[in-house]
Structure 1
């Protein structure tokens, strides 16, 4: 249920940002908000606490997020009024996905046994942007010793596994299929 509701809020924010020409600004602000939520374990429990009045929550939102766009703050007030502040991270994720789709950007994750250099990451982004027919691909690098060597790339629902562990798994499956 919260997935569908969060998509509706994200769609409304996206349409409004598109009309006002503030898409990039709002995307940046919402990413900052998501970082604040992720980095602060007490923020959401405080905002959802039943003993904190709506007026206190709204005052807190005004004080903490006063540098944010008025429409973002208004959305937070609306979500507080409707007791839906718990879906804020989902709304942000959906909004960012809509912005990326509008700009032809895809996000993905690259897994490697060591941290990739900026140059290696950029080459992967350029190569896979062409392969996916996107303007750009933004990759998040994750160090994963289980890949043993090579890389594993996840973009959307597609996984490209060029890792040694992946090759060993394929060999094992092929040997099992022969027996």
Structure 2
């Protein structure tokens, strides 16, 4: 699970609260939406980390952006702002998603590629991951990172397989350095 201890604690608290109210699935959808919004907006990431922007302004902006989310998500935003931890929102969403998936027995696979996967290739990768893990309950997330040049990096839980061109070039460079 990614994230720091504090983010994990906040995620556990909101997961427990949501599960007690039978709203875990709703909050899960909220957390995915919040995470996608944060990842997709550089301005939002900058605003969350900015010490210049007042906490109340951050609260108002976030409640406006995520106005259609559940009361649990609004409560999380209010608590994080109140505790001066709003910069952790992305980490909390990521931790919540991981905890939720773990509780539901869902394996999360992250495949990093230089370009976005086509839907056909995504289906093939998902089937291969299901075969490897022996689990039929797998979600696949595609991260795009042009720095890997080509190939892919597959992460499932604590396991990672790096078949990227950048990794291969790094290995060749190390081999050349050893022989000199």
* TM-score bracket for this pair, using the shorter chain length: 0.7 to 0.9
1:85 is displaced (CA, Å) by 0.9
Counterparts of 1:138-157 in structure 2 under 5 Å? 138-140=140-142, 142=144, 144=146, 151-157=152-158
After superposition, give the CA deviation of every residue in 1:131-153 in whole Å (9 maximum; x if it has no partner).
Answer: 123311313053658555x5442
1:122 is displaced (CA, Å) by 0.8
**Aligned residues between the structures:** 173
TM-score (norm 2): 0.72
Equivalents in 2 of 1:161, 1:85: separation in Å? 33
**What RMSD, in angstroms, separates the aligned Cα atoms of the two structures?**
3.5
SS of aligned partner of 1:36: helix
SS of aligned partner of 2:140: strand
Name which of structure 1's ranges 7-16 and 124-133 shifts more when overlaid on structure 2.
Answer: 124-133
1:87 equivalent to 2:88? Answer yes
Higher relative CO (Cα under 8 Å, sequence separation at least 6) belongs to: 2
Equivalents in 2 of 1:57, 1:70: separation in Å? 17
Give the aligned partner of residue 111 of structure 2: 109
Which structure: larger Rg? 1
Name which of 44, 48, 61 aligns with 2:48.
44
TM-score (norm 1): 0.72
Equivalents in 1 of 2:169, 2:130: separation in Å? 28
After superposition, give the CA deviation of every residue in 1:81-125 in whole Å (9 maximum; x if it has no partner).
Answer: 11111111111110010112123231311436x653312211211
1:7 is displaced (CA, Å) by 0.9
Structure 1: runs of 5 or more not aligned: none
Name which of 135, 138, 149 aligns with 1:136.
138
